[in-house]
Amino acid sequence: MSLHGHKTVAATVSGSVSRFLIVRLATVDMALPSGLVRSILPLGDVDGGEVTLVDESYPVTDLAGRLGLPHVMKSTQARLILCSMGGRRGAFPVDSVAGLVDVQRSQVVPLARQFRGQERQWFQGLFPFEETGALVVNVDWVVKGADRPSPARVEQSAAAVAPSRPQDKPRVIDVGGIQLEEATDAENAPWAAI
Amino acid sequence: MLRTHRGPQSKPTAKTGSYVLFSVGGRRLAVHVGEVGGVGPWPRTMRVPSQTPHVYAVARQDKQLIPVFDLAERLGVQIQGSAPLCLIIRQPDGLMAICVDEDVPSLTTIELSAIRPSQSSDCAVVGSFHQGDEEVPIYALDKLGLETGSEQRR
């Protein structure tokens, strides 16, 4: 299943609430401002390099590897997240997509000052989520790193790249005020349950 | 969650200091009571991809997420016991959680004159004192991690 952004989705739901897409890399929950997410594709279609969606190319970056996490394994839950920010675009594989969450802005806090390394660039902050928390990914850093595309180190068999399928006419799903388009290959993404 | 006992050398009239004794990997360590913000069961933690040595996670404390300092890793030991405890320490940068052995930490009062200057190469050790047959190092927990590059601090 893939869901294409029907239009730019506002990351801010209201003045005091922000909406995030929660994705999982290894055991880590990461939050992406929903307004920066352009699409979610099944990872099985992607072999690294670059993905084209609606005539726009998204260099694939190995976010897990850049963060020192285990590389994403191809599975029925694995997805490719397409993001854009400030005219830059990038895509990265994740182990799964947990869903959307609305968070009071006051709950989002910066990383504690005891974190003193590059992680201060990787994450814009964190907030309590489920039993622990979620890290807010700095999408600007992600897409800048995607400028130099390298084959995403995704463990897989030998699937051919299926860039994008602009010919597939997606249908619109209304997800709690967010309009998303479902591609014809959509079947079992967690988004469907939202 | 602290046991209290008075050190054998304590005298009401002498200058004394209160220290929390705890174990990490079977090693007894002490910190000044003023640096300790609390002790409790080890909470759920979340890994944080990090390049800061020994700081790789945050622990959930009520609605707060506080960084975890892996003191066991720094000491090259492994936490003992199946029910480790969480020692919350106060640092200038804020609270920090340290995983300690399941032995319940104790509070002891000792004469300041019984504290020996540090002979340790570990910059976080500020002194030591004898308790029984054991030499217990006193850690200044606010110095943990500083040797890893304060130039990176923002």
Contact B49 A112 (CB under 8 A): no
pLDDT in tens, A46-80: 766 889 888 899 999 999 999 999 999 989 999 99
Strands (E), chain A: 3-5, 12-14, 17-25, 28-33, 37-42, 50-53, 56-59, 79-85, 88-94, 96-104, 123-129, 132-137, 171-175, 178-182
pLDDT at B120: 81
pLDDT value of position A148: 53
8 Å CB contact of A117 and B91: no
Bridge partners, residue A103, by sequence: A18
Radius of gyration of chain B (CA): 16
Interface contact B94, partner A, CB < 8 A: yes
Give dist(CA A102, CA A80) in Å, integer. Answer: 22
Contact check, Cβ <8 Å, B51/A118: yes
Find the closest chain A residue to B48 by CA distance. Answer: A28
Substitution target from B44, B48, B55 for chain A, most A beta carbons within 10 A = B48
For chain A, the 3-state helix, strand and coil shares in percent, each to the nearest 5, are: 15, 45, 40
Render each residue's pLDDT in chain B as its tens digit; 154 residues.
Answer: 666 665 555 555 679 999 999 999 999 999 999 999 999 999 999 999 999 999 999 999 888 999 999 999 999 999 999 999 999 999 888 999 999 999 999 999 999 988 988 888 888 899 999 988 889 999 998 777 655 443 333 3
Kindly state the percentage of chain A with pLDDT values over 90.
Answer: 56
Q: Does B72 touch chain A (CB under 8 A)?
A: no
Question: What distance in Å separates residue A20's CA from the closest CA in chain B?
Answer: 18
Residue of A nearest to B146 (CA): A114
ipTM value: 0.83
Query: How many CB contacts within 8 angstroms connect chain A with chain B?
Result: 84
Which residues of chain B are within 8 Å of residue A28 when distances are taken between CB atoms?
A: 46-49
**Distance between A124 CA and the closest CA of chain B, angstroms:** 12
* Residues of chain B with C-beta less than 8 angstroms from the C-beta of A122: 49
- How far apart are alpha carbons B41 and B82 in whole angstroms? 11
- At residue B92, the pLDDT reads 87
The pTM of this model reads: 0.76
Chain A partners within 8 Å of B149 (Cβ): 116
| pLDDT, tens only, A109-147 | 999 999 999 999 999 999 999 999 999 999 999 998 765
Judged by a CB distance cut-off of 8 A, whether residue B152 touches chain A is: yes
Partner-chain residue, chosen from A69, A115, A132, that has the shortest CB–CB distance to B44: A132
Cα separation, B27 vs B80, whole angstroms: 10
Query: How close is the nearest chain B Cα to the Cα of A182, in Å?
Result: 32
Structure tokens at B45: 């933690």
CB contact under 8 Å between B49 and A114, yes or no, is no
Alpha helices in A86-156 (DSSP H): 119-122, 139-145
Contact: A113, B93; criterion CB under 8 Å: yes
